[in-house]
Structure 1
């Protein structure tokens, strides 16, 4: 190789590096562009009694949006109204009930008028029951799927005409467990479904100026990750098992499983839920929202990289973490 070849190689490296830097600067500039006239925009958020939805509504209210906060309980709605300004309004909504969704749609249609609905944030969800798949009954799966999967689809499809009128946004809350199935029950299944539904929807309706974003949070301290109800639910699942199934796992398995859950939640859960609501706000206010957001250090450094690994690697990792049944082969 002569000197000319070396210089040529260095030149191409310099050009490539320069283009990469320019691309990053353009991306950052484009990512920072914001929509205007937010005071004229209406946003519906589900699951606002606590957690992500509750904080998001307060933040959007401060920014000047017309916030339509859908709460499951009267107390949740009352508390949120007292903590926010007069532009925030609440409605009771059980996303697993078609009648409830229809009533919320009729109320929202009157509220937004000809402006249409700028955004829908499908935040309502439930995590329980979680645990080994064999411990579940069919009803245990359905109780989660009805909220996390069917509820997201029902709200989205019902409110889509209002969103289409405003050329607005749909923001669906999935999870890192919609990328890596780490436990049994309906939660991971439902979040995988939210990912697929959102991808299909985004590709189908972008022609109408509608953006669809997916939020894939890591583990955060909310009601969903609270240890007390999780442990009670595991105890309930264990007690409904037949003596034969219990014997196959062993007397100590439940205690070991609960200890692992405590270790995971205490080690991984982030207390700063604004990392999640910040992504939701960006999806609603950015001129060019992203297709996916993955808030949380564990999402970026653990779960998302793990989702690209071969299945055998994920299987081995979980096998090392979770307890082993006493009668396993």
Structure 2
């Protein structure tokens, strides 16, 4: 595995807390001296190390942490992981990590990092990137999740879902007797290289993965800028779909008063953010304040690691990052 060099001053002699944001596209690790000092960062594609096997991923992640920390003692490790979409999966990855190190650690879903980064513990995090999901912890600590089903089934407001819904809108447009003059029609035909009207569906399915589909989402927003009524409706429904995920968690007892949304699509596309806030105002009027998160989710992981360290200060304290003698455990 070819790893980039960490950036920032060498903090080898310091005791560190480490936060990790494992996204669907990239992984960001950050180590911060607990006594103060500059952070060190390591960023690399998630596909370079992640295998979707709890044990293999735990071993590989700890290797990355060791590279970042350079042998310094680690007081706490906090991980936000894309794909840990319920409490059982978070526990499975945490157990796999704990089987390989004695460092105090915790694992949460990556959507939970954004509210934490803003100091909003216990609030709802909403990711709208390649995929989408809404996550929070109730007052009792229960992990509540809505969405995250994948682009074929759901992932409302995500890049891949917006393209899927745009294709459906274009298909309905033709069924209703429409022609090629609508801007979204031309945008989708060009983006997906659709050879003819009957091949619209197969052109979408040929894309394969969510990432491959999602990279064409910009075509939907471009069509909206050109005045496409179809594209504007797709975006409105996508934003409302994200708001609905938040409203579902609210109805299920989340007890939150803030919803923090982030991810590549909603951050870069003001139309989607506006649709989300309007949908939230309609579906949960006066109950939740929306926030657009434009920072780095790893900041939330570092806050979580600092909190974990604080709560365990009366214990053994920091330990070197080394393998423990416990048996490996955890499977996807």
TM-score grouping bracket, smaller chain normalisation: 0.3 to 0.5
Q: TM-score, normalised by structure 1?
A: 0.35
Comparing both structures, which one devotes a greater share of its residues to helix?
A: 1
Name which one, 1 or 2, has greater alpha-carbon Rg.
Answer: 1
